Structure 1
Amino acid sequence: MTARQTGAGRTGAATDRDNWAGTYTFTAPRIEHPETVEEVARLVRESEHVHALGTRHSFTDLPDTAGTLIQTDRLRTAPTLDETARRVNVGAGTRYGVLAEWLHARGWALHNMGSLPHISIAGATATGTHGSGDRLGILSTAVSGLEFVASDGSVERVGRGDTDFDGLVVGIGAFGVVTSVTLDVEPTYDVRQDVYTGLTWDALLDDPGEIFGAAYSVSVFAKWAAETTESVLLKSRIGVDGPSPDRIAGARIEEAGAVVPASATQRGGVPGPWSLRLPHFRLDATPSIGEELQAEYFVPREKAAAALRAVREFADRIDPVLGMTELRTTAADSLWLSGSSERDTFAIAFTFLRRPAEVYALLPDLEAALRPFGARPHWGKAHTFDAARIAEVWPLAQRARELFDRLDPRGAFVNDHLRRLGVR
């Protein structure tokens, strides 16, 4: 746990030096909010050390710096849509939910979204954030182009197919300040959400593929000591997935009229736009539990059941500090630092209560239990991996380090976090 990891005492971010959940306080002596690429370039040129900061959804010192933090929240250049190429270019600080509304109004869509529509596009893609779906790549796989300010202040552009492009998409802020992102789009579509209850852990562990292959996007929510999971959320794409079954692996579809959290997107099998169904939470509401500390690990999908059994051995230590666990799947990709790089993936996410001392005491044991399965941590969430462990699970980490060092020879974007992980 870093010196700036905070404990109880407030709900959510209290100042512009806190992350979204109030669980990390940034130490950078200077925070700037540039509105133009030219301002970003000036700040990069005049700062010995600099780092980009998105919507503050990271839970560690990953985006911190000893110099200037460039928050991209005002880099919200109006989207430009190329319908022929099926691509949209958008400012780095734009939130996914805002872009989603804009695209749907024009008849277009993204292939996937994360749980929270509040996250910035550049920050989410740079850290390998994902939604769920056996056949769906993480959010970063939709990136077809990046514009960024390099350490000498020059504005550079790179696109899919260019040398090293796959090393830059999930770039964890290590090579420059991304100012705009180009994403693939497709014609808009509708989705329905259905909730199932009564799925036992035994049924889940017997055949995870039956559950996670049941719809376009599937999430399982659970505590670890109970015999039964909390719920299964199926997001079915209209015209692609068939009718929602009454049962899945013994779990029953929730009856109409069930109480839904006020912050949640509409459930109960009511079809609606992808933009209002793929995220779990509404853009106009406080997401998740607000005051929390998150950790997440990615294992090869074929090892899901064994990895879950290993984690359940710690149920008596996990559940007292846990808000909820979410289980999801993603498809393999070619991005060097993606959690799904070169392998279909099963994601085990923990939303912990804000009890950092207990959580950070637990994580090394969880990580040791998951080590035989090649577990990778989410770049933006809590973990205790060091450089040796990162190199062990990401075969291309050294290649990424060489790329980042070449693009940033003066070390402007180096910080303590990236040094600890061995990627700078």
Structure 2
Amino acid sequence: MGTNWAGNYRFQATTVHRPGSLDELVDVVAGASRLRPLGTRHSFNDIADSPGSLVSLEAMPTDVTVDEARGVVWASGGMRYGDLARTLEARGLALHNLASLPHISLAGSVATGTHGSGSRNGSLATAVAGLEIVTASGEVRTLHRGDPDFAGAVVSLGALGVVARIALDIQPSFTVNQRVFLDLPFSTVEEHLADILAQGYSTSLFTRWTGDTVDQMWVKSRGDGAPSETFGGTPASVAMHPIAGVDATSATAQLGVPGAWLDRLPHFKLEFTPSAGEELQSEFFVPVARATDALKAIRGLAERIAPLLLVCEIRAIAADDLWLSGMNETETVAFHFTWQRREPEVRAVVALIEQALAPFRARPHWGKVFTLEATDIRDLYPRFDDFLRLREKYDPEGVFVDAYVERVLLGGRPA
């Protein structure tokens, strides 16, 4: 069965089903006593494991169907974002945003609330217009935006069923350029954080929490636009990797050269594996109104964080109405930590970060390393109990319950 992408988690499930059609998928789900969907394994905890078996959609047909009249594209939940992006670009179409890595699957990314950057851009899940879900009984349910269960079913942590197909909003293709600026004074970042993160189409800050400056600011602008303010940063004269000193070959093109959206919105090129997986990741979402206070609180832990850190990315994401989204009803700033793979030490520091961010009601990224459990998480989401009722409706026998669901959702309640 093997491990996740990072190699820090070894799956306990003994069987992986790889159905090649919807009918085969229905048979797998209907015949399972315990089952979890498996994506590209780019999670850093046990969210995709099962005490029974797993089901992967990698053998399912991609089945890309564009409905330009409705402005959506349907595709297999197991398809990677980068592959769908290439298909759309060939037809002159685009998605609104992409995550840092284009290697991740549609269904897995959406189910965990994964996102890109941009204070006016919602997470990847906000582009979902429809879902085709195979529930525990083998029933195939199709939900569309506006249906009563829809807002609860999009970011579902795999707890409602297997998302066989997914519909995403599309738009005409567009170009983007990105420019990198170096060594922004921390004092300036603290004073102008919201303005910095609102630049261009999206902006990311990269820091190792050492010294008096933020290492890099990446600004992605549509067309040939450029940021009007550098906030004390110096324009980079060569292409950069988000981690200072690392070869930039795997990073998407910079220096203000426009290119297709799919070749600029991610930080990394699809044809490259950005690292060997020797890392861990954590991420926490805080309201933009408290983001500067959160930044100062994290900086207060710099001496504990820096020795374990590869890089931290700070970016903004727009609010949404999806029940378990980290951005639910909240304009958000995300603090993303890429760690060395030293898990016991990392988990200890993550717990300190959680304590420091607790006054700001920080929410964890569901697919990354965190120590919070259901009793800590429940009050952070206004629709948390509504989601538990939805889970009971879709999976009354607990087929999709695993240790992760028990720990972060059920909190000791019966499945």
- Give the TM-score, by structure 2 length: 0.95
State the partner residue of 1:349. Answer: 336
Q: Alpha-carbon deviation of 1:392?
A: 1.9
Q: Secondary structure at the match of 1:363?
A: helix
Which runs of 5 or more residues in structure 1 are unaligned?
A: 1-15
| Range moving further from structure 2, 267-276 or 205-214 | 205-214
One-letter identity of the residue aligned with 2:129:
S
Q: 1:150 to 1:258 in 2, by over 3 A?
A: closer
Counterparts of 1:257 and 1:87, CA distance in 2: 35
State the partner residue of 1:309. Answer: 296
State the partner residue of 1:282. Answer: 269
Deviation string, structure 1 residues 276-309 (Cα, Å, up to 9, x no partner): 0000001110125621110000000111110011
One-letter identity of the residue aligned with 1:96:
Y
Q: Does residue 243 in structure 1 map to residue 231 in structure 2?
A: no
Q: Does residue 127 in structure 1 map to residue 112 in structure 2?
A: yes
Q: Does residue 361 in structure 1 map to residue 348 in structure 2?
A: yes
The match for 1:31 among 3, 12, 16 is 16
State the partner residue of 2:93. Answer: 108
The match for 1:62 among 40, 43, 47 is 47
Q: Does residue 146 in structure 1 map to residue 128 in structure 2?
A: no
Deviation string, structure 1 residues 310-369 (Cα, Å, up to 9, x no partner): 011111111111111000100000000000000100000000010001001111111011
Q: Secondary structure at the match of 1:235?
A: strand
State the partner residue of 1:292. Answer: 279
Q: Does residue 323 in structure 1 map to residue 310 in structure 2?
A: yes
Is the 2:240–2:248 Cα contact (8 Å) retained in structure 1?
A: no
State the partner residue of 2:255. Answer: 268
One-letter identity of the residue aligned with 2:372:
F
Deviation string, structure 1 residues 77-110 (Cα, Å, up to 9, x no partner): 2211011111000001100000011101101000
Counterparts of 1:175 and 1:244, CA distance in 2: 43
Q: 1:134 to 1:386 in 2, by over 3 A?
A: same
Is the 1:50–1:413 Cα contact (8 Å) retained in structure 2?
A: yes
One-letter identity of the residue aligned with 2:145:
R
Counterparts of 1:378 and 1:214, CA distance in 2: 24
Q: How many percent identity over aligned positions?
A: 44
State the partner residue of 1:333. Answer: 320
The match for 2:237 among 241, 244, 255 is 255
Is the 1:77–1:90 Cα contact (8 Å) retained in structure 2?
A: yes
Q: Does residue 176 in structure 1 map to residue 158 in structure 2?
A: no
Q: Secondary structure at the match of 2:214?
A: coil
Q: Does residue 22 in structure 1 map to residue 10 in structure 2?
A: no
Q: Alpha-carbon deviation of 1:41?
A: 1.1
Q: Does residue 165 in structure 1 map to residue 165 in structure 2?
A: no
The match for 2:81 among 84, 89, 96 is 96
Counterparts of 1:243 and 1:44, CA distance in 2: 50
Counterparts of 1:192 and 1:363, CA distance in 2: 34
Counterparts of 1:378 and 1:76, CA distance in 2: 29
One-letter identity of the residue aligned with 1:78:
D
Q: Secondary structure at the match of 1:207?
A: helix
Count, aligned residues? 406
Counterparts of 1:392 and 1:226, CA distance in 2: 36
Q: Secondary structure at the match of 1:248?
A: coil
RMSD between aligned alpha carbons? 1.4
Q: Alpha-carbon deviation of 1:258?
A: 6.6
Deviation string, structure 1 residues 20-39 (Cα, Å, up to 9, x no partner): 11111110121121121111
Q: Does residue 214 in structure 1 map to residue 214 in structure 2?
A: no
Is the 2:239–2:248 Cα contact (8 Å) retained in structure 1?
A: no
Counterparts of 1:399 and 1:288, CA distance in 2: 39
Q: Does residue 83 in structure 1 map to residue 65 in structure 2?
A: no
Deviation string, structure 1 residues 15-60 (Cα, Å, up to 9, x no partner): x521111111110121121121111111111111001010001111
Counterparts of 1:413 and 1:64, CA distance in 2: 10
Q: Alpha-carbon deviation of 1:257?
A: 6.5
Alignment of 1:333-412 (within 5 A): 333-412=320-399
Counterparts of 1:170 and 1:243, CA distance in 2: 34
Q: 1:269 to 1:157 in 2, by over 3 A?
A: same
Q: Secondary structure at the match of 1:308?
A: helix
Q: Secondary structure at the match of 1:422?
A: helix
| Range moving further from structure 2, 16-25 or 103-112 | 16-25
Q: Secondary structure at the match of 1:198?
A: strand
Counterparts of 2:255 and 2:269, CA distance in 1: 16
Counterparts of 1:48 and 1:289, CA distance in 2: 35
State the partner residue of 1:4. Answer: none
Q: 1:176 to 1:313 in 2, by over 3 A?
A: same
Q: Does residue 193 in structure 1 map to residue 178 in structure 2?
A: yes
Is the 2:29–2:137 Cα contact (8 Å) retained in structure 1?
A: yes
Is the 1:76–1:93 Cα contact (8 Å) retained in structure 2?
A: no
